[in-house]
Amino acid sequence: MEASPLTQQTRPETFQPKIVQLYESLFKSPEYAEPSEGFWREFFLLPPDAGQLHVLLDELSPDDALALQAQTQHLFARAIKEAAAGVSPADSYALDTLTIFLTGILSKKYTNPSSDVITVLAGLDEVDRVIAEFVSVLDGIIRNGKSLQIRRKAIRVAIAMTSGAYKTSLVSYFTHRDLFPSLMKYVHDSDTPMEVFDPFLLLGLLANYNKFEFQNPYQLRLDDFVNESSIQQIVKGVGLACGGLRNGYVAVQDDIPEGWSLTSTLIFFGLRALAPGTRDKANPPSAEEAKTMFAALPAQEAAILLATYDFANANKLFGFHMVHMIPEKNEESPFSSFLSLSSYLLQHAYRSMRVAHYAELSLFTLRILVEDPTLCKHICSEDGKRKVRICRQRQPYLPLISGDRVLATVIFDVIIDTITHNLRRRLDVKIYSHAIAIVLRLLTYLSINKIRLTYHWSELWRTLLSLMRFLTTYATDLISNPQINTLTSCLADVLAFCVSGGDTFLPDPSSYDDLFYKLVETGPVISKFRDVYSLTRTPKLPNSTSTTPLPDAAKDLHAAAIDTLLSVSTHFYTLLFHSDSTDPSAAASVSASPNLKGDGEPTPVALPAIKKKNLSPREVHRIIKQGYETLSIQPPEGLSAWSKWRESEWKTELKKAARVAVDDARQLVA
């Protein structure tokens, strides 16, 4: 038998995929020549290797990327051409490659971001033609691509470019060519609400691009959009996203109370690990592990909260469906999911600035919704009852209410937990200001419409007065905060409004009695609070004929609110203790103060118990009831007045929140 002419070659230790060889020949060849047509055909007929391409691009410094501008420009231009051609599978692979390439190239910290990125992608001479064509191709695919999968990939390329180039002028090309109709057509054509996440996320990024510097066309589009079926699909998608994000917290610590049954576990991102019950309950994380895991939450998908805020702010129809949408069988309503996520975000807001920005966005959205009388009517109505899962991951817990609840009572619970679980010396005063503002808006609506809600009101009184005690105790740490006056004055107004108007919304006398009794306990704190924050009336100049300036009038209103609280406290203190002195400073000791661990996790404030002179609860109730007959309250006019949401007043906070969302969006598509 003749020997075979074939010889066995040594088996290599590792096999390198062909596409990786092409990557290296493109970016690592010492002598670069423009690739041939055959090279590009082979390049885009092979499935991209995301991991290897990311590694290769991440190894490049900004200067390396600029030095390789010929290669990067050729790759970018050819990928656009292959995507536009619409030939399978090259078009799909080209879109995937563009997403990887853009996230890798645009994440670098260039010395001159705009000009350097333009150089890397297109060159200064060709930028208008290349980027305009790039946006045009994406627009066409998003609108008329041959499948939802291809169209979604084009959206993700747009997210990669928008989030990566957010600090450059390149995003302006997306404002010159309006992608809104194409994005909404994709939403309309989508099969499930889960598929609206990417277009809605992109819309949020584009609508926030320089919106305070010029008239952003996407903001105008949000305002004018009235397609109800698409809005409903978006609202459902937002609800699913919120449910999935909430489940991320539950996966770390399952706080489901006894007797509670969450009938539907929402899986949104295809990450079943985020769902409750998937973690081994026999081996929960340690305290340190849980702390680390909580610090990484919420997942990057929280970037959708930016678009949710913008749509709620600009489009009343979106807000209507957000609040009114009835849940399908065995599911949460979108608003229930939003409130549930808000509860978890706000209870953990102190953990990082990133969480705080998302928590603040949720409060912005909530405030806009409760300021709308039509929506607030539903929120405060028995007809709008929903089941909502409230965060119970840290003590103290609020009373557990099972079953459907009036949504306003859920919001009160969210606000109480927000106040209770974020107390620290470096207080996030803005979040507290928004929380108190939402309480005032809900209470004024209840009062005007004579809606009496069954609720654990004593928890609200305890929380508001505990906050007053905290602000008083740590005034030296807080007095320099530029927002502190807003918080202290709003807190005084809310409490004074409850004292003067509680009979219009409280369901029974005992809730009112409890408020007065807690005011007696807090009497010395109220007077100290007034002094340290200068909540006193403006002295009038003698022989002055000028009218009082508006700031002074506002200050006088808040001072009058504090005076109302002090007069009530003094009145009932005198009756309860038969003291000749009208100074309630003996009513309670104010030595108790919050136990803080520096800037770490806060410990809830405990309100000191009043030293009753052997009075039984029945006797206290009787005395307070009798005290109403001699109580004279002259509430200042204007307590129930509040200013509607004005975005321009919070543009600094919105810009910071947008930057957080942009960074998360970039990581999502990466």
Nearest to 147 by CA among 202, 186, 196: 186
442: phi > 0 → left, psi -120 to 50 → alpha, else beta; which?
A: alpha
Is 281 a residue whose pLDDT tops 70?
A: no
User: Nearest to residue 460, comparing CAs of 438, 481, 479?
Assistant: 438
Range name among 180-189, 221-230, 514-523, 542-551 with the lowest pLDDT average: 542-551
∠ CA 660-661-664, nearest 5°, is 90
* Mean pLDDT calculated for residue range 418-429: 94
* pLDDT confidence band for 543 (50 / 70 / 90): very low
Task: Report cis status (omega within 30 of 0) of the bond before 113.
Answer: no
Give 339's pLDDT tier (boundaries 50, 70, 90): very high
C-alpha to C-alpha distance for 662 and 656, rounded to whole angstroms: 10
- Spatial distance between the Cα atoms of 465 and 491, rounded to a whole number of angstroms: 9
- Residue 96 CA to residue 515 CA, distance in Å, equals 61
- 363's CB contacts (< 8 A; 6+ apart) are 342, 346, 431, 434, 435, 438
Displacement of CA 555 from its chain's centroid (Å): 31
pLDDT, mean of residues 400-419: 95
Could you tell me the pLDDT band of residue 402, with boundaries at 50, 70 and 90? confident
Rounded mean pLDDT, 333-340: 97
Question: Higher-confidence residue: 534 or 582?
Answer: 534
How high is the pLDDT of residue 635?
61
Structure tokens at 148: 């939802």
Q: How far is CA 161 from CA 11, 124, 141, 471, 529, in A?
A: 42, 18, 16, 45, 51
In the prediction, which pLDDT does 561 show? Answer: 77
C-beta neighbour count of 629 within 10 angstroms: 6
- The rounded distance, in Å, linking the Cα atoms of 210 and 357 is 18
Average pLDDT, the chain: 85
Q: What is the DSSP-derived secondary structure letter of residue 8?
A: P
pLDDT band at 605 (very low <50, low <70, confident <90, very high): very low
> What is the reported pLDDT for 538?
60
Which secondary structure element, helix H or strand E, spans residue 16, and what is its range? none
Residue 311's nearest CA partner among 361, 373, 273 is 361
pLDDT mean over 55-84: 95
| Angle formed at CA 176 by CA 173 and CA 180, multiple of 5 degrees | 100
The pLDDT of 500-520, averaged and rounded, is 87
pLDDT value, residue 214? 87
What are the pLDDT digits (tens) for 608-667? 344 445 666 666 666 666 665 556 566 666 677 788 999 999 999 999 999 999 999 999
User: DSSP label at 316?
Assistant: H
pLDDT score recorded for residue 582: 40
pTM attached to this predicted model: 0.88
Predicted local confidence at residue 295, as pLDDT: 92
Distance CA 381, CA 326 (A): 14
Give the tens place of pLDDT for each residue, 292-332. 999 999 999 999 999 999 999 999 999 999 999 998 887 89
pLDDT at 593: 37
CA distance 282 to 621: 48
Cα–Cα distance between 126 and 640 in angstroms, integer?
A: 59
Q: How many CB atoms lie within 10 A of CB 75?
A: 22
| Lowest-confidence pick of 202-206, 243-247, 565-569 | 565-569
